[in-house]
């Protein structure tokens, strides 16, 4: 079956989807992106994702003449054309193509790219075993609240963690934990409170993060959004990461320290179950 993608205003054979050689997304990483989970033929938390996409566009002054409805319909049609019931939808908007110039020109037509890929969610057995992570210095820029396509710092740090034998990298700035290389981070403290870094320019306002906070509150779990240190991280009863494609990933070993009993914690498991129920409704 031919893979179909969307470029600018057309559905197109993926192998023939090309952008201009002087697109500013390629030359300056001048663009933003969004990833949406398509599960059982539904766009999950779609409006929240599009809210974040348009916020990111606004922060870098790109004007996109597409409505939420139009973007949503393109995503649905793309999944249909690729015969996918479960998929990861990648939306990338760049400022467009023009002669190379460090200054930002006015009046460009944004380049719109949307691709879909099949996704298989992690099984409960895999989640029960948990994953490992290592704390590394956060070398990213100072506007991590913008979902920029400039991901080199995150990619280099994630690769460093993998090369060290870990599954994930956890960013720290001045001994304060921010988030993971491509996901948000939560800990469960000794009082069974769910703690995550408060939103600011150092972390992305994750959509799965937002959903998990809502589900936790519905379950009677106290949620605290505040900075926490590397020492608190290591001493936590439970640690897990969240993202659109990972959903909830328990982290049971950090650096050389086993978290809890080395398996997926009780509160983490409760939230996994709650999130799965949410997906199935």
Q: Annotated active-site positions, please?
A: 147
Helix (H), strand (E) at residue 163: helix 152-163
> Rg (Cα) of the chain, in Å, rounded?
19
The bridge status of strand 238-243 relative to strand 184-188 is antiparallel
The tokens for 5 are 């993608």
The bridge status of strand 176-180 relative to strand 168-173 is antiparallel
Helix (H), strand (E) at residue 39: strand 31-39
Q: What is the spatial distance between Cα 264 and Cα 129, in angstroms, rounded to a whole number?
A: 7
Residue 134: φ, ψ to 5°: -130, 140
Contacts of 125 (CB under 8 A, 6+ apart): none
Q: What is the spatial distance between Cα 224 and Cα 238, in angstroms, rounded to a whole number?
A: 15
Contacts of 162 (CB under 8 A, 6+ apart): none
Cβ–Cβ < 8 Å for 158, 168: yes
Exposure string over 257-277, b if 16+ CB within 10 A, otherwise e: eebbeebbbebbbebbebbee
Q: What is the spatial distance between Cα 190 and Cα 212, in angstroms, rounded to a whole number?
A: 19
């Amino acid at each position: 079956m031919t893979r179909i993608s969307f470029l600018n205003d057309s559905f197109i054979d993926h192998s023939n989807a090309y952008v201009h050689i002087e697109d500013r997304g390629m030359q300056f990483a001048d663009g933003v992106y969004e990833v949406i989970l398509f599960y059982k033929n539904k766009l999950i938390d779609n409006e929240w994702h599009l809210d974040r996409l348009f916020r990111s566009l606004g922060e870098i002054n790109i004007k996109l003449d597409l409505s939420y409805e139009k973007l949503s319909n393109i995503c649905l049609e793309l999944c249909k054309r690729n015969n996918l019931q479960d998929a990861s939808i990648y939306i990338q908007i760049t400022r467009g193509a023009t002669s190379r110039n460090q200054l930002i020109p006015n009046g460009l037509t944004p380049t719109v790219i949307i691709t879909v890929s099949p996704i298989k969610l992690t099984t409960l057995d895999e989640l029960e075993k948990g994953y490992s992570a290592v704390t590394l210095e956060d070398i990213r820029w100072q506007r991590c609240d913008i979902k920029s396509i400039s991901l080199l710092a995150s990619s280099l740090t994630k690769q460093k963690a993998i090369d060290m034998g870990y599954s994930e990298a956890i960013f720290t700035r001045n001994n304060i934990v921010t988030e993971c290389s491509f996901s948000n981070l939560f800990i469960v403290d000794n009082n069974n409170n769910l703690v995550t870094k408060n939103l600011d320019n150092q972390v992305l306002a994750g959509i799965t993060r937002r959903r998990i906070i809502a589900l936790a509150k519905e379950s009677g779990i106290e949620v605290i959004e505040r900075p926490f240190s590397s020492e608190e991280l290591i001493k936590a009863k439970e640690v897990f990461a969240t993202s659109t494609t990972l959903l909830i990933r328990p982290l049971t070993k950090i650096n050389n320290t086993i978290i809890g009993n080395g398996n997926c914690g009780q509160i983490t498991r409760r939230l996994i179950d709650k999130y799965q129920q949410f997906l199935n409704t």
